[in-house]
Structure 1
Amino acid sequence: MGPEGKTLLNIIILGFGFMFMFTAFQTCGNIEQTVIKSFNSTEFHGSGYTSMAIIYGVFSASNLIAPSVVAVIGPQLSMFFSGLVYSGYIAMFIHPYTWSFYTASVVVGIAAAILWTAQGNLLTINSTDATIGRNSGIFWALLQFSLFFGNMYIYFAWHGHVHISDKDRQTVFISLTVISLVGSFLFFLIQKPEPEATPSEASESLLQTESTESAPIIIATPGLGSQALDAFKKALQLSVTKEMLLLSISIAYTGLELTFYSGVYGTCIGAMTQFGNDAKSLIGLSGIFIGLGEILGGGVFGMLNKCNRFGRNPVVLLGLITHFVAFYLIFLNIASDAPIAPEEGTHLQAYFTPSVEVALLCSFLLGLGDSCFNTQLLSIVGFMFREDSAPAFAVFKFVQSITAALAFFYSNYLLLHWQLLIMVVVGFLGTLSFFVAEWVVVSSRRDTDYDNI
């Protein structure tokens, strides 16, 4: 197998590892608020929204140290140990206690920062300028299959269940824990890509561990303390560059809508009593349609990126339009108090008779629009910051996770229409700022081409 074939295989294995892990974790996030409402115990007083707010809050802060961890132990081990922590969080739901629930939320927030920084690092060092768009799309499409499989299981397991019993909960979370562990162990199949340098240069770079492009596993050397500190400093420096500041509004928007589609919208559907006895199982069906939108978008826009002469802007604009249509239909279809309704659900009606078909169409549009933004952001960050991919993706996840934490926090209190309005405003501003950032990339590429004549 040639160097390009090996790196493509690495991207596919990376995608499958994340697919298994997030089949478990994203399904867990989608159902946990509903599960917690059904869990009657004097020992437990927790909120799924609060847990996710803690996870993303700790996630955001931990992104400042994540590049240092990846620099010391390498991306492969970073992802493996982080995956074990994710499995522990899911296993906690088999019999949750308030203290274990919130403690696990803190620990998985730290693990998430390390996991995603390592993922961005591995994606970049297994890609070239020509393949970064394709590889981002392949990874994103494989990752989003997680929404499809996990939520299909929920749909069939909970079909016709008005109340989620202890046995229902335990069966689901034992299965999800095992699936998560499979994903963690898949990371050991990732191989070291062939260096692009000559053999002598490659040997020297491996010994000195100076090139993140030629070595995915950074070798332990006496200078690790300095290496970790340098990675931390680089993340701080990148966070205030013009390019990253421009992209940060778009990244912040992905954090807000991540919260909405992964935690809030499923809860809203499950709370709609007018959907009948199938409302709880529709949470799973909604997740499937989100996943279908994500897979379609990741596959199509990742492939388009390879031969797209118009740049990334049209895909991002399509994502914004898709989301605006979804938000408007959700506003008309779902009751305003659905995000904060009690276990018995809401009896209120929005602006027309609630429709399951419209609700599922909106799920698909949410997933499609999310893939538009994320594939293009992965591509542009990997392109702009190729030499500093781990710190750059740490900043990416810092911005995304802090806005996700904020959104999960206000989801405990804000009615649906206010949550939608916040996303509309930030999405519009984020799209404009992405256009400017893409223009900077195109301009710099033209200058480089001119200099090389």
Structure 2
Amino acid sequence: MDAPGGEDEAPLVVSVPVPEVDDGSPSEVSPPKNHVRDVHILSFAFLLIFSAYGAAQNLESTVNTENDLGTTSLGILYISFTVFSFVASPMVRFLGSKNALVLGTSGYLLFIASNLKPSWYTMVPASLYLGYTASIIWVGQGTYLTSAARSHARDSHLHEATVIGNFNGEFWAMFASTQVIGNLVSLALLGGGKANQVESIVLLDEGDIWSEFTKHIIRPALGVSGVGGAMAIFGFFDALCSLVAGQFTSGISSITLIMSGGAFLQIFVLLWLLLKYSLTSGVLGYVYPLLMAAIWGIGDGVFNTQLNALLGMLFRHHTEAAFAQLKVWQSASTALVFFLSPHVTFQAMSVLLVIVLLVSMLGFLLLTLHVENAFGHGH
């Protein structure tokens, strides 16, 4: 990472220089860097980008159905994302995080434009390029947000871990809001006798794990028209929990506690589905699926804020590499689920998720103990 005060910690929007004082001598006091404002700008920019991209992605399997062009292009996208994430760190270091953010938006623009005339000659190259730019923009986002938090904490004499948590909380809350906005807009535009279109649109948004949940749980209980509402509830609690979890982040111990709580909630939902849940009538038949969606959103908000905050705290000198590794594993697992889910049952997928969550939390706890032991011995 660049040295303190370098390009990665420079404001996204440059402040106007201080004018000369009345006696004609230039002022020696420069305005402070406003990194809080930069987080607002960064978060709002991602809200706009991914609201537009989410709508295009959700239409892939609905509109581009010829020879499975839509689903194939998404599979290519996530494979490309995985491959390019391996080399995203040096690319972001070379470009600088701000330039990486600007370049990264071009892939989303091209992908959306390719849907205006979808074909194998437009969608496949656009998906490949978006995989590249997605790796760039997400590593740039994590690097810049962390650098801005460190700089703000230093300039304002605040606890660094707390600022990193607060900044991540705001960003991921805004990002999760795309779930609410996108699904409510889809329902408003496609309501009134177009329920099947609504269902198709709101099902690609959280990947195939969520689409399996809606297919097997939400749709039988609430009907097709309830899918969008359930996803909006998921997004609302995701955003709310992201904001709250960011405020409670203060160090390794708090992250461990919050992460454990989020993992417990998601395992609880999965075990509920496997062992106890059955379709019921009446009020509870509506409440239970929506409650599951809310709990799953809470867990998602926890994981997003705390994992990104943890990487920002631990990897001071290899920030780009840390976030690149995170995207490698995230995109690879998404691609795996994308191709695996059509061939396994919902119960098998739920069991697999329980195992993965347990193994992940065990590894996370071991990492926490190792880090705290290292700091305790002054390493």
Structure 2 equivalent of residue 445 of structure 1: 375
Q: Distance in 1 between matches of 2:270 and 2:59?
A: 21
Describe how 1:284-363 pairs up with structure 2 within 5 A: 284-306=228-250, 310-331=253-274, 351-353=278-280, 355-363=285-293
Kept in 1, the 8 Å contact 2:209–2:337? The answer is: no
Deviation at residue 49 of structure 1 after TM alignment: 4.7
Pair 1:273–1:314, CA change in 2 (3 A): closer
Deviation at residue 365 of structure 1 after TM alignment: 1.5
Residues 92-143 of structure 1, C-alpha deviations (whole Å, 9 max, x = no match): 3344334433333222111111111111110121122332122121211111
Deviates more, 1:60-69 or 1:281-290: 281-290
Structure 2 equivalent of residue 347 of structure 1: none
Deviation at residue 440 of structure 1 after TM alignment: 2.4
Q: Distance in 2 between matches of 1:77 and 1:26?
A: 23
Deviation at residue 274 of structure 1 after TM alignment: 6.4
Mapped pair 1:145 → 2:180: no
Residues 325-380 of structure 1, C-alpha deviations (whole Å, 9 max, x = no match): 322455589xxxxxxxxxxxxxxxx8324844332222222211011122111111
Describe how 1:62-73 pairs up with structure 2 within 5 A: 62-73=84-95
- Higher RCO, 1 or 2 (CA under 8 Å, sep at least 6)? 1
Q: Structure 2 residue aligned with 1:12, among 27, 30, 40?
A: 40
Deviation at residue 422 of structure 1 after TM alignment: 1.1
Describe how 1:152-163 pairs up with structure 2 within 5 A: 152-159=184-191, 160-163=193-196
What count of residue pairs does the alignment treat as equivalent? 335
Pair 1:269–1:97, CA change in 2 (3 A): farther
Q: Distance in 1 between matches of 2:51 and 2:269?
A: 24
Deviation at residue 444 of structure 1 after TM alignment: 2.9
Pair 1:418–1:108, CA change in 2 (3 A): same
Deviation at residue 24 of structure 1 after TM alignment: 2.4
Question: Partner of 1:126: helix, strand, or coil?
Answer: helix
Structure 2 counterpart of 1:161, which letter?
K
Q: Distance in 2 between matches of 1:313 and 1:323?
A: 16
Structure 2 counterpart of 1:311, which letter?
S
Amino-acid identity (%): 25
Structure 2 equivalent of residue 420 of structure 1: 350
Kept in 2, the 8 Å contact 1:26–1:262? The answer is: no
Q: Distance in 2 between matches of 1:70 and 1:161?
A: 44
Deviation at residue 27 of structure 1 after TM alignment: 4.2
Deviation at residue 303 of structure 1 after TM alignment: 0.2
Deviation at residue 146 of structure 1 after TM alignment: 1.2
Give unpaired runs (5+ residues) of structure 1.
Answer: 173-256, 334-349
Deviation at residue 268 of structure 1 after TM alignment: 5.3
Give unpaired runs (5+ residues) of structure 2.
Answer: 1-14, 16-29, 151-159
Residues 300-340 of structure 1, C-alpha deviations (whole Å, 9 max, x = no match): 1100003x68421111111112112322455589xxxxxxx
Q: Distance in 1 between matches of 2:41 and 2:59?
A: 27
Question: Partner of 2:149: helix, strand, or coil?
Answer: coil
Pair 1:330–1:22, CA change in 2 (3 A): farther
Kept in 2, the 8 Å contact 1:326–1:362? The answer is: yes
Deviation at residue 263 of structure 1 after TM alignment: 4.8
Deviates more, 1:403-412 or 1:261-270: 261-270
Q: Distance in 1 between matches of 2:89 and 2:53?
A: 23
Q: TM-score, normalising length from structure 2?
A: 0.78
Structure 2 equivalent of residue 403 of structure 1: 333
Q: Distance in 2 between matches of 1:419 and 1:374?
A: 22
Kept in 1, the 8 Å contact 2:234–2:296? The answer is: yes
Structure 2 counterpart of 1:322, which letter?
L
Kept in 1, the 8 Å contact 2:69–2:119? The answer is: no
Mapped pair 1:21 → 2:53: no
Structure 1 equivalent of residue 314 of structure 2: 384
Deviation at residue 30 of structure 1 after TM alignment: 4.5
Kept in 2, the 8 Å contact 1:27–1:147? The answer is: no
Structure 1 equivalent of residue 25 of structure 2: none
Q: Distance in 2 between matches of 1:56 and 1:22?
A: 16
Q: Structure 1 residue aligned with 2:165, among 133, 145, 149?
A: 133
Pair 1:71–1:5, CA change in 2 (3 A): closer
Structure 2 counterpart of 1:259, which letter?
G
Quote the RMSD (CA, aligned, Å).
3.2
Pair 1:321–1:29, CA change in 2 (3 A): farther
Q: Distance in 1 between matches of 2:129 and 2:142?
A: 21
Question: Partner of 1:365: helix, strand, or coil?
Answer: helix
Deviates more, 1:20-29 or 1:123-132: 20-29
Residues 74-108 of structure 1, C-alpha deviations (whole Å, 9 max, x = no match): 22222222212113223433443344333332221
